[in-house]
Structure 1
Amino acid sequence: MQRFVFLTLDGLARGAAYAAFALALVLIWRAARVINFAQGAMAVACVYVAHSVTGATGSYWAGFAAAVVSGLILGAAVDFCVMRLAGGAAEHLNSVIIALGLVLIIQAVLGIVYGNEFLPTPAPFDRTSFTIGDFVLLSPFDLFVVAAVVAVVAALAWLFGRTSVGLRMRAGAFAPEVSRLLGVNVGGMLTLGWALAASLGAIAGMLVVPTELALHPHAMDLVFVASFTAAVIGGLDSPPGVVIGGLAVGLTLSYVSGYLGGDLTPLATLILLLAVLLLRPQGLITSAKVRQV
């Protein structure tokens, strides 16, 4: 029983971290109708910036702020300098190909600048779990991750549901020609969407990387697969659904790792993703009608 409780709580904590990264995918999808396959590599780049700033200043929070700011800059630069080249009839396919190319470029540059060594990434809070009797509970860092995810979901709900900026971002993504006729700066909204998504990805990277072995150029590869699975499960138009999907993925991987072995977790992620794509590709939470707008 103690093992089951530990695996459940550990899965929820891991799932919250996956949900944070999946929310970055949701943000860029809702702002630009694009799946950014370079999101993981961009997040790692921001975490490397945080690592450098933390090493220079001795402050984790200075590094955290640097990661957020570098995410804004990197996201805006990727849209303005790269993604705007993805035009033509096959625009979405072009964006996917360019994003995959960005993954290779970013990882190569990080390897050249920082090397491929595994760098330690300390957490801002203790990672030692609380215990009640024989039961192992969440750690202070796990609680910080959960609180951060709740705050991000609330912020996204407010942005897209309560602000004119969020409305213009969605309008520019769904109907760019009509939006331009109504005076919406579609290009600016897309750039803002990319900047916010990359910044959110940087935050997710700061939450996820301390739970991994160490920081390296490929640190987010498997995390991206798990987070993309969470986004597909929850539905790319539903931030609350993505959080549920992230928790489901975290629990699944925790149970598989705890009872069947850690080597099977990548396979379990791919099987879960394949099952959702085959049985309900529109997501378990978002209705098909919303996804087809």
Structure 2
Amino acid sequence: MGTFIQLVIDGLSTGSIYGALALAIVLVNQATGLINFAQGGMAVLSAYIAYAFTQIGLPVLVAILIAVVVSFFIGAIVERFLVRRFERGDPDTAVVVTIGILTLVTGICAWIWGYNNRQFPSLFPLDSIDVFGAVISIRSLGTILAIILIMIVLQLLFMRTKLGLALRAVAINPESAALSGLPVGRLLMVGWGLAASLGAVAGSLVAPQLTLTPGMLDTALVYALAAVIIGGLTSPIGAVVAAWLIGVLENLAAVYVPFIGFDLKIAVPFVLVFVVLILRPQGLFGRKVVVRV
């Protein structure tokens, strides 16, 4: 029982890393209709900004809050001067642009801070507690609770607030939104800014567990995209639940399924993606889109 609980908690902790990025991807998609491959790089840049403020003596919480604000403006500027030129054109071109931004941001981080591993201070205590023989890190529990809180806030934003409804309207049909009097350009900037701020939180939560490097979220971004596909592009709750599912099933399959083991556990999320795309293409929690012709 202790081993099982340990695997589940570790899986939830790892899944929370994927879920943090998945939430930012969902946020950008709901605000602009794009899949943002640059989200991992922007989260890493935000984590480096927070790290820089901790190095001048600021408490880690204050440094993260400053990074969140700075990241909002970075995200808004990226949308206004780079992404906007391609948003309403060919979707494939816009995707390539976000990949290019990912490469650019990663290169900037490496140029400024180098490729050496840097230890980011943890927002939570490093102590552990014992639950039925399983050693559970307080940092892991804190990360899980933080992701749950962010997930709830995003769900309420999109479903219960005027800003969230406006962002969704702009993403679905910008022409009709503009005719309705919505400031489309401003809302697109806000959407990217909010996603960048969320990336700052995600990067700051993840960096203490992975150590801070320019490419620390490259693998996590792949898992986050898998979580978005499984959970649904329209559902923050679905993205996080899918990320947790990936993390837990990976751990359980590695230990309890002999032919998978630790070498093949990376295939677990992609098998899930394959099954979900066949049975429910909109994702487990996604909404089916109906197009009138």
1:250 alignment counterpart: 247
* AA partner of residue 85 (structure 2): L
Q: Report the alpha carbon displacement of residue 257 of structure 1 after superposing the two structures with TM.
A: 4.7
Q: Secondary structure at the match of 2:234?
A: coil
The aligned amino acid for 2:182 is: V
**Which residue is equivalent to 1:118?**
117
Q: In the alignment, which residue of structure 2 is the partner of 1:230?
A: 227
Question: 1:234, 1:242 within 8 Å by CA — same for their partners in 2?
Answer: yes
Give aligned pairs, total: 289
Structure 1 unaligned residues grouped into runs of 5+: none
What pairs with 1:125-204 in structure 2 (closer than 5 Å)? 125-132=124-131, 135-204=133-202
1:58 Cα deviation from its structure 2 partner: 4.3
Distance 1:78 1:142 in 2: 32
Letter paired with 2:236: P
Change (3 A) 1:54 1:264: farther
Compared with structure 1, are the counterparts of its residues 151 and 88 closer, same or farther at alpha carbon in structure 2 (3 Å cutoff)? Answer: closer
Instruction: Tell me by how many angstroms 1:281 deviates.
Output: 2.8
TM-score by length of 2: 0.91
1:160/1:248 CA distance change after superposition, 3 Å: same
Match of 1:283 in 2: 283
Change (3 A) 1:85 1:62: same
Q: Which consecutive aligned stretches of 4+ in structure 1 deviate over 3 angstroms post-superposition?
A: 256-280
Q: How does 1:91-110 map to 2 (within 5 A)?
A: 92-110=91-109
The residue aligned with 1:215 is 212
Letter in 2 for 1:84: R
Deviation at 1:279, TM superposition (A): 4.3
Bigger Cα displacement from structure 2, 81-90 vs 185-194: 81-90
For 2:17 and 2:63, the matched residues in 1 are separated by 19
Are 1:57 and 2:77 counterparts?
no
Distance 2:289 2:75 in 1: 30
- Paired with 2:50 and 2:153, the residues of 1 have a C-alpha distance of 23
CA distance in 2, matches of 1:34, 1:12: 27
CA RMSD of aligned residues (A): 2.0
| Alpha-carbon contact 1:225-1:269 (below 8 Å) kept | no
Secondary structure class of the residue paired with 2:125 = coil
**1:265–1:138 Cα change, 3 Å:** same
- Percent identical among aligned pairs is 35
Q: Deviations over 1:100-149 (max 9, x none)?
A: 111111111111111111111231222343104x5115322122212212
Q: Which moved more, 1:117-126 or 1:259-268?
A: 259-268
Calculate the TM-score normalised by the size of structure 1: 0.91
Q: 1:289 to 1:88 in 2, by over 3 A?
A: closer
Check conservation: 1:129, 1:136, Cα contact below 8 A. no
1:255: Cα distance to partner?
2.5
Once residues 58 and 180 of structure 2 are traced to their aligned partners in structure 1, the CA distance between those partners, rounded to angstroms, is: 49
**Does the Cα contact within 8 Å between 1:231 and 1:245 map onto a contact in 2?**
yes
Partner of 1:14: 14
Amino acid at match of 1:204: A
